[in-house]
């Protein structure tokens, strides 16, 4: 999960509380939506004189909600992967839009399977139709897109809150705990030169060594605090280690560090002169 190191066990107390509140609040909202939609459908069918058993209406809503609950972890995982990718926003947006197709197909196929099974147990047959000349899959997809994008937004907000709740370095804290298999390195913060995103990990340059740490760059940035400066969407440097900044005509720049290493920075993150 974004903003955590090692899943639920890697979260601090504040992060766990945030995740629990998000989960509880989401379930409450889902329940309210299901009840409201079902009651509205029952009322609409009655007003239109369409014979529809309330039990079947509740089945419609419950089957849809059940599949969404199964897909929420998939959406959360997708957002977490994109969060850690360091890709530009437009690339992430395109992937999310593309993902709405298989997510909707899974949702519709799942809820239709549940309805067919329940109808079959009652000795009846469920027909997946929405009206003459209307493709039911396309009809459901148009509705699902808005729901999926809402879930993506909630997942992004939740992971941002969890990342922000990562325990910051206390005033007297001078080390960063970095797990390396069975070994935990207590790395002095003032000896870390730079931190770079590397897939599901970050690379921490500590003197002549480079440690691989399972965490997001956002979580490490929150933990290290103001002693570090983001110069690129996927890179942090320690402010005190910067020796020289050379800016290109494009606005991008090169940072020279105390070790002599040079790192490229984006104009979006150019430090103030």
pLDDT digits (tens, 9 = 90+) for 13-38: 677 788 888 888 888 888 888 888 77
* Residue 104, pLDDT score: 96
pTM for the model stands at 0.58
User: Over the Cα atoms of the chain, what is R_g?
Assistant: 25
Give the pLDDT band of residue 84 (cuts 50, 70, 90): low
Taking the C-alpha atoms of residue 153 and residue 29, their distance in angstroms, rounded to an integer, is 15
- Give 179's contacts (C-beta < 8 A, 6+ positions apart): 5, 6, 185, 213, 214
Give the pLDDT band of residue 8 (cuts 50, 70, 90): low
* Residue 66, pLDDT score: 92
Higher pLDDT: 7 or 263? It is: 263
Please identify, in words, the CATH class of the domain defined by 175-269: mainly beta
Taking the C-alpha atoms of residue 225 and residue 3, their distance in angstroms, rounded to an integer, is 15
Residue 230 has pLDDT above 50, yes or no: yes
Give the pLDDT band of residue 243 (cuts 50, 70, 90): very high
* Residue 173, pLDDT score: 53
* Residue 263, pLDDT score: 93
C-alpha closest to that of 95 among 107, 78, 111: 78
* Residue 12, pLDDT score: 61
Task: Report the mean per-residue pLDDT for the chain.
Answer: 83
Number of H helices, E strands in the chain: 5, 10
* Residue 167, pLDDT score: 54
Residue 220 has pLDDT above 80, yes or no: yes
Average pLDDT over residues 162-178: 64
Average pLDDT over residues 106-133: 89
Q: Quick one: tokens of 223?
A: 């933990």
Give the pLDDT band of residue 271 (cuts 50, 70, 90): low
Average pLDDT over residues 53-82: 88
Are 3 and 162 within 8 A, CB to CB?
yes
Average pLDDT over residues 44-73: 84
Residue 179 has pLDDT above 60, yes or no: yes
Provide DSSP, 81-94: HHHHH---HHHHHH
What are the residue boundaries of the structural domains of the chain, listed by start? 7-164, 175-269
């Amino acid at each position: 999960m974004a903003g955590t190191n090692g899943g639920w066990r890697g979260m601090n107390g504040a992060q766990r509380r945030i995740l629990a509140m998000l989960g509880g609040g989401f379930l409450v909202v889902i329940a309210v939506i299901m009840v409201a939609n079902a009651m509205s459908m029952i009322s609409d069918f009655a007003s239109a004189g369409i014979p529809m058993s309330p039990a079947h209406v509740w089945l419609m809503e419950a089957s849809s909600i059940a599949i969404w609950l199964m897909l929420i972890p998939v959406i959360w995982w997708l957002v977490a992967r994109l969060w850690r990718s360091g890709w530009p926003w437009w690339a992430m947006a395109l992937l999310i839009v593309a993902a709405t197709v298989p997510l909707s197909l899974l949702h519709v196929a799942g809820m239709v399977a549940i309805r067919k099974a329940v109808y079959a147990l009652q000795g009846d047959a469920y027909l997946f139709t929405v009206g003459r000349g209307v493709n039911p899959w396309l009809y459901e997809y148009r509705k699902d897109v808005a729901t999926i994008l809402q879930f993506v937004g909630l997942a992004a907000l939740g992971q941002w809150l969890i990342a922000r709740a990562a325990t910051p370095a206390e005033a007297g804290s001078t080390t960063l705990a970095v797990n390396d298999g069975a070994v935990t390195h207590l790395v002095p913060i003032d000896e870390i030169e730079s931190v770079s995103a590397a897939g599901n990990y970050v690379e921490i340059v500590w003197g002549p060594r480079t440690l691989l740490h399972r965490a997001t760059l956002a979580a490490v940035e929150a933990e290290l605090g103001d002693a570090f400066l983001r110069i690129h969407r996927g890179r942090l440097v320690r402010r005190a280690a910067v020796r020289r900044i050379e800016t290109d005509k494009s606005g991008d720049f090169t940072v020279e560090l105390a070790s002599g290493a040079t790192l490229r920075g984006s104009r979006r993150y150019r430090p103030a002169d």
